[in-house]
Copies of this chain bind each other. A is one copy, B any other.
């Protein structure tokens, strides 16, 4: 056994989160069919693994709540209040006090709500939107639409250049907390403060950070934020996203999608729109109950897990992966595009190589599942709740063999 394999065993033995792995469906017969050694799943930053509690809960929602109680479940099974109840469950994971997060719709739709809402909160004469030039594409496309529909100009800016680009015409800035491709962690406290200094609204996309590291929305005075729930929060494929509106801004939040669920009295069936108070002003239409309650069950794995412990293990995993890659992979064969500094790293490692698409295919065939992001990036996500150090060592070893 190699030195690194022994080191991995020792690290796993003292891992306080190691027991959490048993709360997920992993090491299945399908995994062993794919590779005799099973699968190392490093794609939880795209689709989180299935929490073991979910299937039973979904079965209850379908068979009993829908099948037997039917319409009564809107009240009796708590369907109607699910968006804000589950929002409150996500809140501590992103450093938010209750009453500021609401679940529903896709991330893209929430980006639209947040950006239009931000422009409407901004002061007179502010007609420019800044957007992370390296953003996950949907944020950029939606920002373009939000700008077009609010009479703003959209200006893509690299996150590092945002402080210099902010000015008296900036209405809002939309940034990704962790870059989906490189895994770079951006400076949320600093960039939020810079936006505020310029009198602009700071909107953050937490898709690649929530559930992997502390976000501190309240602490750092973030104005609006959105995120998906199917990556590190393990909510299931396409599970509903969430919207955070800071409490003191909620009365000024003027949604471009004022569906009946955000009405002060939705069952009053009134002709005139009057927005509800609080986070549920961010709701739109009838909530998607099956997906939403699967997410609610999935969030139970977080009970008693401090996000700081998750962050510590995440950094240890990615440090160890870099160490193993340095030891196993011939120098120059891959270039790490994820920053080495802890304060600039999310919970993934992105390696660039010309034949990344092909390499990832062969890795997956050998039971190491990451993903490929065009044109040349191998992406490995490390979910601290279910990835161990032996997984990391094996992934690096198989990567080296594949690249050889």
Q: A residues bordering B, Cβ < 8 Å?
A: 25, 28-31, 41, 43, 46-47, 49-50, 54-55, 58-59, 62-71, 73-74, 79, 105-109, 112, 116, 133, 136-138, 140-142, 144-145, 149-150, 156, 181, 228, 230, 236-241, 255-261, 263, 266-271, 273, 284-292, 294, 369, 371, 373-374
Contacts and interface: CB of A to CB of B under 8 A. Distances in A.
A32 to B, nearest CB: 11
Contacts of A374: 267-269
Given A258-B144, A289-B236, A137 B25 contact: no
Copies in the complex: 2
Given A138-B259, A144-B273, A290 B236 contact: yes
Given A47-B71, A105-B109, A258-B145, A236 B66 contact: yes
Contacts of A47: 66, 70-71, 74
- Listed from nearest, the 7 A-B pairs whose CB atoms lie closest are A106-B285, A108-B259, A108-B285, A237-B289, A138-B260, A50-B67, A30-B68
B107 A238 contact: no
Given A71-B46, A109-B109, A286-B107, A294 B62 contact: yes
Contacts of A50: 62-63, 66-67, 70
A325 B31 CA distance: 61
B236 A138 contact: no
A137 B241 contact: no
A324 B86 CA distance: 45
B288 A58 contact: no
26 contacts: A28-B68, A31-B68, A41-B70, A46-B71, A47-B70, A47-B71, A50-B70, A54-B62, A55-B59, A66-B236, A79-B237, A79-B238, A105-B106, A106-B288, A107-B286, A108-B260, A109-B109, A136-B260, A137-B260, A137-B271, A145-B257, A181-B269, A236-B289, A237-B290, A238-B289, A239-B290
Contacts of A59: 55, 58-59
A64 B28 CA distance: 10
A273 B74 CA distance: 39
A55 B62 contact: yes
Contacts of A149: 116, 149-150, 256
